[in-house]
Chains A and B, each alone.
Chain A
Amino acid sequence: MIGSLLSGDLPRSKILVLLLAMILFCLAFAPFLFPGVRTVDTAARICIFVVLVASYDLLLGYGGIVSFAHTMFFGIGAYGVALTSTHMGRGFDALLVGAGIGASTAAALALLIGLFSLRVRAIFFAMITLAVASAVAVLFSQFSSLTGGEDGLTFKTPRALGPAFKFGQDSFDGELFGVKLNGKLLTYYLIFGSSAALFLGLLRVVNSPFGRVLQAIRENDFRAEAIGYRVVYYRVAATCMSAAVAALAGSLYAIWLRYVGPDTTLSMEIMINILLMVVIGGMGTMYGAVIGVTLFILAQNYLQTLMGVLAGMTEDLPLLPDLLSPDRWLLWLGVLFILSVYFFPSGVVGRLRGQR
C-alpha cells in the first residue's frame, strides 16, 4: 500500500524514514499541534515550497537542467489565481480556472523557451532562463493596471476559505481539541492535501520509465540519444511538467496569502532559496525536497533571531555586528551554499542513504 503510494521509491534509510514521518505528522496536524498564527503559516509555506522545490528537482536533479525561471512559473500560477479571483468574483470556480490558466500558460511558456534553448548546451539554458525570468519580473511590475505593479494584488478567496466562516457548530460546538473550526483551517487542509497529491504525483513521474530516461539523459545525453531517445523531447517535456507543477504551487501560495506581489512570488531571492533548498536536501531525490525545505524554512525563521542575538552581543566590536545583523542572513546562506556544494554534494538525503 505505502509502496505503491510512494511509487516504489521508499526512503531506504531508517533515519530518513523517521525524519519524513515526523515532518508528515507535524504538517498533517499542524493546526492542532501548534495552534499559533505564525506556526500554521510556516507549516503551509513548507507544504507549498515542498511542491515547488520538488518540481524544480525534477528539472535539476533528474534532468540535469539548470533553470532560473522557476519563480517565473511560480509567479504565473499565483497571478493566474489572483487575476481570476479579482475579475470573476470570489468562488471556487475562479480558483480552479485561475490555477488551470496559470498552469497551462506556464507550460506553454516553458515549451517555447525549451524549444529555443534546450537543443543547445545546458549552460545556454541557464543563462536564457535567467534573462527571460528577469524580463518577465520587470513586465509584471510595469503593467500595473493589470498586475498592481510593485504593490501586487490583494483579492478575496471563497467565503468558505475565510477566517469568518465557521462550521461544526452543532456537533463539536465549533471547536476540536481547542482549535476553532473555521475557514482558515479548511484552507490549510486544502493546501496540505493538494501539496501531498502533487508531491505524490511528482514521485510517480520520476519513478516511471519517463523519469528513468531523464536520469539517463542527465548522466550522459550523448548515449541516451544514441540508444534512440529523443533527448530534446524528453527535456522539453520535463521542463513543461515542472513549470506546470510550479504554477500550481504558485496558485496554492496565492490562495494561502490572498495576496500576490513581485516580491513574494517572482523575486530572484526566492529562486536562490529554491536552489539552496534543493542542494541542501539532496539533488535527484524527491525526499530531498521535503528535508531541504523544512530545514531551510525553519532556519530562515530562527537563524534571523539567532543572528539578532549575536549582533547584540558583539555590539561593541567593529564590523562584526554588521556582519551578524539579521538583515545579512543571505550572506551566511551564501557561505552555506558554497560549503554544501563542496562538502555535501549529495545533500542530506544522499548522505543518509549512504551514497556520495
Chain B
Amino acid sequence: MTAAPEHAPTLAQISLRDRLSPYAPLLLVPLLTVAGFVAVQNPASWLTLTVSGLAMGMMIFLMASGLTLVFGLMDVINFGHGAFVSVGAFVGISVLLTLGHLTNAPSLGLNLLAILAAVLAAMAATASMGWAFERVIVRPVYGNHLSQILVTMGGLIITEQLIIVLWGPEEIYFTRPEALKGALTFGDAAIEKYRLVAVVVGLSVFAAMRFVLRRTKIGLIVRAGVQNGEMVAALGYRLRLVFIGVFIAGSALAGLGGVMWGLYQEVITAHMGNQAMILIFIVVIIGGLGSVEGCFIGALLIGLLQNYVAFVEPKLALISNIALMVAILMWRPMGMIPVVKAK
C-alpha cells in the first residue's frame, strides 16, 4: 500500500478584485453620468440630458428584453423582432388617434384611459403576432442559425410591407395627449413630463421582470432554461411551452416599447422597427446574449451616451453607439454579463 499523496488543504482567500469583477458593469452607468457631467459642464443641461438618456434607455430596454431572453432559452435569434416594435407603434397610435376626444381633453384621467387603451391594444396585437410568428416562421427552423436569420428577416420585410399596405406609405405625425405635454422645471433644468413617465414605466417593467424571474417558479424555470435548456427539459419541464410564453411576452413588451417610442418621437414610420433593431442589437450584444440585467445596463449606457455626445459633438453621436460596442467587446468579448452556457 502506498501512502496517499501528501495533500495540505489551503484556504485561498478570494481577492476583492475577483469578488467585485462580476459587478463591474453596474458601475458603468454612474461612471458615465459623471463623465457626462464633466463633458457637459452645465448642471441644468446635464440633468435634462440625463433624464432623456435614461428615458431612451428604458424604452430600448423594453424593446430588447424579449429578444435576449428568447435567444437565451432556445438559441433562436429573431431578426424580425423590430417588426413587433413597428406594429405596436402603429396599432397603439391608431387607437390614440381614434380616441382623439379623450386625448385632447384636459383631464388627466381621460388621457390616461386613452393611453391605457392604446397600450393594451398594441400589446394584444403584438402578443398575438408573436404567437403567430413563432408558429409559422420560427418553428420549422429551430437549431439552424442561418435559416433563422434568413427566415426572420423575411418576416420583418413582410410585416414592414403589410404596414405600408394597411396604413399607407406616409409617416404619421401626431401630438401627445394633453397630460403628457409640457415640461417640469427644476431650477434651470426643464424636463419633459413624458420622459419621466418613460423612466417610471421602464423601471417598473424592469422591477416586475426581476420579480418574476427571481421570485416565481416560472422565473426559476426560465433562468434555468437560459443556463442549460437541455437539463431543464430532462427534468420534465416543457421548455417549448415556456419558450412560447416568453416569446409572446417579449413580443408584447416590444409592442409596448414601440408605442412609447412612437410617443417619444411623435412620428411613426414603417421603417421604425428596422431602425430600432440596430439599437436593440447593440444593446443585446454589449449586455451579453441571454442576460436581462446586461440588457438593462446596456440600454441605459446607449441612451445616456447618445444624449451626451449629441449635445457635445452632434456629428459623433452617429458612431458613439458603435464605439461603445467596440469598447465593451474589447473589455468583455461575450458582453458585460455573459450567460454561462453549458453547451
Chain B residues within 8 Å of A22, by CB: none
Stretch at the interface among A27-35, A87-95, A128-136, A254-262: A128-136
CB-contact partner of B165 in A64, A139, A272, A322, under 8 A: A322
Q: Which residue of B lies closest to A329 (CB)?
A: B161
- Whether B281 lies near A127 (C-beta < 8 A) is yes
**Interface of chain B, main secondary structure:** helix
- Whether A120 lies near B165 (C-beta < 8 A) is no
Q: Does B38 contact A (CB under 8 A)?
A: no
Chain A residues within 8 Å of B315, by CB: 142
Q: Does B333 contact A (CB under 8 A)?
A: yes
**Contact A272/B157 with A130-B278, A341-B151 known, Cβ cut-off 8 Å:** yes
Q: Does A230 contact B (CB under 8 A)?
A: no
- Whether A131 lies near B282 (C-beta < 8 A) is yes
Q: How far apart sit A66 and B79, CA to CA, in the bound complex (Å)?
A: 12
CB-contact partner of A117 in B155, B169, B318, B329, under 8 A: B329
How many whole Å from A205's CB to the nearest CB in chain B? Answer: 21
Question: How would residues 154 to 165 of chain B score, 1 for a CB under 8 Å from any chain A CB and 0 otherwise?
Answer: 111110011011
- Whether B149 lies near A139 (C-beta < 8 A) is no
Q: Does A122 contact B (CB under 8 A)?
A: yes
- Whether B169 lies near A327 (C-beta < 8 A) is yes
Q: How far apart sit A341 and B315, CA to CA, in the bound complex (Å)?
A: 40
How many whole Å from A36's CB to the nearest CB in chain B? Answer: 31
Q: How far apart sit A132 and B278, CA to CA, in the bound complex (Å)?
A: 9
- Size class of the contact patch on chain A: 35 or more
- Whether A319 lies near B165 (C-beta < 8 A) is yes
CB-contact partner of A131 in B164, B289, B325, under 8 A: B325
How many whole Å from B22's CB to the nearest CB in chain A? Answer: 19
- Whether B150 lies near A337 (C-beta < 8 A) is yes
Question: How would residues 110 to 124 of chain A score, 1 for a CB under 8 Å from any chain B CB and 0 otherwise?
Answer: 000000110111111
Q: Does B326 contact A (CB under 8 A)?
A: yes
Chain B residues within 8 Å of A333, by CB: 157
How many whole Å from B301's CB to the nearest CB in chain A? Answer: 15
- B-facing residues in A71-111 (Cβ within 8 Å): none
Q: How far apart sit A128 and B278, CA to CA, in the bound complex (Å)?
A: 9
CB-contact partner of B158 in A119, A327, A335, under 8 A: A335
Q: How far apart sit A127 and B165, CA to CA, in the bound complex (Å)?
A: 28
Q: Does B285 contact A (CB under 8 A)?
A: yes
- Which of B151, B155, B156 is most buried by chain A, counting CB atoms within 10 A of its CB? B151
Q: Does B63 contact A (CB under 8 A)?
A: no
- Whether B161 lies near A331 (C-beta < 8 A) is yes
Q: Does A297 contact B (CB under 8 A)?
A: no
Question: How would residues 141 to 178 of chain A score, 1 for a CB under 8 Å from any chain B CB and 0 otherwise?
Answer: 01000000000000000000000000000000000000
Q: How far apart sit A337 and B154, CA to CA, in the bound complex (Å)?
A: 6
**Contact A131/B322 with A322-B165, A331-B158 known, Cβ cut-off 8 Å:** yes
**Contact A328/B164 with A131-B322, A135-B321 known, Cβ cut-off 8 Å:** yes
Q: How far apart sit A337 and B156, CA to CA, in the bound complex (Å)?
A: 11
Q: Does A279 contact B (CB under 8 A)?
A: yes
18 other A-B residue contacts (CB within 8 Å) besides A131-B281, A331-B165, A337-B150: A60-B146, A66-B149, A116-B330, A123-B77, A131-B278, A328-B165, A330-B161, A331-B157, A334-B154, A334-B155, A334-B158, A335-B154, A337-B153, A338-B137, A338-B151, A338-B154, A341-B147, A345-B147
Some 11 contacts from A to B, beta carbons below 8 A apart, are A66-B146, A131-B278, A134-B275, A135-B319, A275-B153, A322-B165, A334-B156, A334-B157, A337-B154, A341-B141, A341-B150
Of all A-B residue pairs in the complex, the 10 with the closest CB atoms, nearest first, are A331-B161, A334-B157, A337-B154, A334-B158, A338-B154, A127-B281, A322-B165, A135-B322, A334-B154, A134-B278
